[in-house]
Structure 1
Amino acid sequence: MYTITKEFHFSASHQLTDLPSDHQCARLHGHNYVVVVELKSETLNQFGFVRDYQELAALKSYIDDTLDHRHLNEVFKSDAVTAEFLAKSIFDWCKKRFPETAAVRISETPKTWAEYRPR
């Protein structure tokens, strides 16, 4: 199995309003997010790639145009825009365009990661 990954960055705010009011994440706050998309394939294309990294520019455009410097609760019309939620949302976006998508990992801080990887 061949695996490639590519990393993307964006900054955005969110608020987890379902949490108790004294929880720090219930307050409006922001993160410098890191997104890692992983693609896998048992075979390589005619150029020797799982997928050309340049094709992943579409994901960068989506992130820049839709998520970067936005309030994610408004973008997704949800009160629970967690890292886990973002990983699944971005995975779904990628899977529609890149069938080789195997997982998406999201970091909100240098020490925390959430991942969505279907069975």
Structure 2
Amino acid sequence: MQAAELFEQKIKPPEVARRLRVSAKSAYQWHQVWRDGGVQALASRGPSRSRCRLSPWSLEKFAAHLEEGPAGHGWVEDHVWTASRVATRISRKFHVTYSVSGATRLG
């Protein structure tokens, strides 16, 4: 919101960049967004997240699938679901690819 206040004072993007310690490119982008939509357009929308590629039904079905344990799906050396194993099961069961880190964020 500091950028919007500076733009309202007719301060140019290069000076806004200097004052806020950001790149000039960012300040020019903010300026364009501010001109098109005002202060509200610059408001944070929070951290971006990828949309879940599994439907709510698939997530529910998969949760039940996980309750069978890793041994029920071929991992008999130990009884621990790892992120790698979860990603592998999603791929095999639903034909949807998740990275290991992506699998840790399912919920």
* Global fold match (TM > 0.5): no
Instruction: Say which structure is richer in helix.
Output: 2
The TM-score bracket by the shorter chain reads 0.3 to 0.5
Give TM-score scaled by structure 2 length.
0.33
Q: Which has the higher contact order (CA 8 A, sep 6+)?
A: 1
Give TM-score scaled by structure 1 length.
0.31
